Structure 1
Amino acid sequence: MHYILDNWSFDPFLVIALVVVVWHEIGLRRLASRSTPERTRERRLRSCWFYSGLAVFLIAFESPIDYWAGSYFLVHMLQHLLLMFAAPSLVVAGAPWQPLHDALPWRSGPPAAGAGATHSWSQRMRRAGGFFLRPWVAIACFNLVMVGWHIPALFDVGESNSAVRVWLMLTSFFVAGVIFWLQFIPSPPFRSQLPLLGRAAALLATNVVMIIIAMSLSIFTNYSVYAIYNHVPGVTLPPFADQQIGAAILWVCGDFWALPTMIVTIRKLIGDEGGVGTAMERFLGRGTQSSTVRGWASSGSRDRLS
Structure 2
Amino acid sequence: MTTSPMPPLTWQAALTTWQLALGWDLAVLLACVGYLLGLRRLRRAGQEWPRRRAACFAAGLVSIVLATNSSIAAYSSAYFSMHMIQHLTLIMVAPYLLIAAHPLDLWQRAARDPERVRSVLLSRPVSVLTNPMTGFLLYAVVLAATHLTPFMQLMLQHHVLHHVEAVVYLVSGYLCFLAVIGLEPTRWQRLSYPLRLAFLMFAMAPDTGIGVVLMGADHVLFPDFARMSPDGTAGLLDDQRLGGAIMWVGGDGLMALAMLVLAVLWIRSTGPQAGFGDWLESARRSALSGTAGEAGGDVIAESADVDADERALADYNAMLARLNGRTSGGDAR
TM range (shorter): 0.7 to 0.9
Within the candidate set 64, 73, 77, 2:71 is matched to: 64
Structure with more relative contact order (C-alpha pairs < 8 Å, separation 6 or more): 1
Matched, 1:28 2:28: no
Question: Which AA in structure 2 matches 1:136?
Answer: M
Contact 1:135–1:193, Cα closer than 8 Å, also in 2 = no
Return structure 1 stretches of 4+ with deviation > 6 angstroms: none
Post-superposition offset of 1:202: 2.2
| Alpha-carbon separation, structure 2, partners of 1:141 and 1:234 | 34
Matched, 1:211 2:208: yes
Question: Which AA in structure 1 matches 2:99?
Answer: V
Post-superposition offset of 1:95: 0.8
Post-superposition offset of 1:103: 6.2
Query: 1:226–1:14: structure 2 CA closer, same or farther, 3 Å change rule?
Result: same
Instruction: Provide the residue aligned with 1:262 in structure 2.
Output: 259
Instruction: Provide the residue aligned with 2:250 in structure 1.
Output: 253
Instruction: Provide the residue aligned with 1:13 in structure 2.
Output: 24
Within the candidate set 81, 87, 90, 1:74 is matched to: 81
Matched, 1:244 2:252: no
Query: 1:201–1:66: structure 2 CA closer, same or farther, 3 Å change rule?
Result: same
Which ranges in structure 1 are unaligned for 5 or more consecutive residues?
279-306
| Alpha-carbon separation, structure 1, partners of 2:162 and 2:240 | 19
Q: How does 1:122-271 map to 2 (within 5 A)?
A: 123=120, 127-167=124-164, 169-190=165-186, 191-219=188-216, 221-232=217-228, 234-235=230-231, 237-265=234-262, 268=266
Mean Cα deviation higher: 1-10 or 191-200: 191-200
Contact 2:18–2:70, Cα closer than 8 Å, also in 1 = yes
| Alpha-carbon separation, structure 2, partners of 1:123 and 1:81 | 30
Matched, 1:95 2:77: no
| Alpha-carbon separation, structure 2, partners of 1:138 and 1:178 | 8
Contact 1:8–1:63, Cα closer than 8 Å, also in 2 = yes
| Alpha-carbon separation, structure 1, partners of 2:213 and 2:62 | 32
**3-state SS of the aligned residue for 2:219?**
coil
Post-superposition offset of 1:249: 1.0
Which ranges in structure 2 are unaligned for 5 or more consecutive residues?
1-11, 280-333
The aligned length equals 260
The percent identity for this pair of structures is: 22
Instruction: Provide the residue aligned with 1:303 in structure 2.
Output: none
Instruction: Provide the residue aligned with 1:84 in structure 2.
Output: 91
Query: 1:186–1:3: structure 2 CA closer, same or farther, 3 Å change rule?
Result: closer
**3-state SS of the aligned residue for 1:182?**
helix
Q: Deviations over 1:188-207 (max 9, x none)?
A: 43453544343233222221
**3-state SS of the aligned residue for 2:180?**
coil
| Alpha-carbon separation, structure 1, partners of 2:248 and 2:78 | 21
**If the length of structure 2 is used for normalisation, what is the TM-score?**
0.68
Post-superposition offset of 1:216: 0.4
**If the length of structure 1 is used for normalisation, what is the TM-score?**
0.74
Post-superposition offset of 1:87: 0.6
| Alpha-carbon separation, structure 2, partners of 1:29 and 1:136 | 35
